[in-house]
Amino acid sequence: MAFFSELLKTEHILFVWVIVAFIAFSGFLVSIKGFFEFIAWVKKVRLERSSDLDLAKRSTFKSIIALALLGAAWSSGSTLYRSYLDGKKILFVKFNKNLIVNKKTGIIHLKNVSAGVLPSSKWAGNKLDLVKHRPYSESSRRIYEQIAIEALKQKNDTVAIEAYILAIQVSPLSYHLYDNLIRIYGRQKEYSKINLLFNDALENLSKLNLGKRQKKNANKEFLMRLKRTEHRALLA
């Protein structure tokens, strides 16, 4: 079990997923064969031949088994693939020693802002999991931002992007977060993601409790950044 637990955290999981997918496809082919055998039996059922009846029973049984295997393989493959993607959102802190996680509660803290609620040395860890762990509620945006900075120092764009997205969800009008995120997307030439980011931001303005002036300024900021991105995409 320990072997498989470690396997789920490595890129070898893709190989496992391919094997599972191959098994699922094989099961699908068997079910197709059984289906056509069943159809052939239906056409001959009026003859009431015992051999055909046996064939139908075997075909139906094989079809049921194959479909069950197909469903189980697909479910397992999907779970493995999701585990692989989630594993990409794990970061071991190397530079910012103020970032720690309480291994018991799964709460991420910043030492300089979470005084009084920090975990003991026994429960303090440096393995941050953006899927399972959550930041200390009173400093969520700042913690996510520090995680993104830490990830960029480690050249881990996947974690940096996820951290900035989570920070934006906490503080949707912190424009510098958008600027930092689009720098990563721009470096990757993912201009469509930048476009989607600002379109979503504009759409979500109506869901925020903003005054008329504040909403107008936010709309202006996002439109300006969107146009700038579209211009850069044309020049790229």
Helices (H), the chain: 2-7, 13-44, 50-87, 140-153, 157-170, 175-187, 191-204, 212-235
Instruction: Give 73's pLDDT tier (boundaries 50, 70, 90).
Output: low
In a domain, 39, yes or no: yes
In a domain, 74, yes or no: yes
In a domain, 170, yes or no: no
In a domain, 21, yes or no: yes
Q: How many domains does the chain have?
A: 1
Give the total residue count for the chain: 236
Instruction: Give 85's pLDDT tier (boundaries 50, 70, 90).
Output: very low
Instruction: Supply the range of the domain harboring residue 80.
Output: 2-87
* Nearest by Cα to 64 from 30, 39, 24, 40: 30
133-168 pLDDT per residue, tens: 999 988 899 999 999 999 999 999 999 999 999 999
In a domain, 132, yes or no: no
DSSP H or E stretch at residue 110:
strand 107-110
Looking at 25-39, 72-86, 139-153, 201-215, which range is the least confident one? Answer: 72-86
In a domain, 67, yes or no: yes
What pLDDT shows up at residue 81? 43
10-30 pLDDT per residue, tens: 445 555 556 666 666 666 656
pLDDT surpassing 70 at residue 63: no
What pLDDT shows up at residue 141? 95
In a domain, 63, yes or no: yes
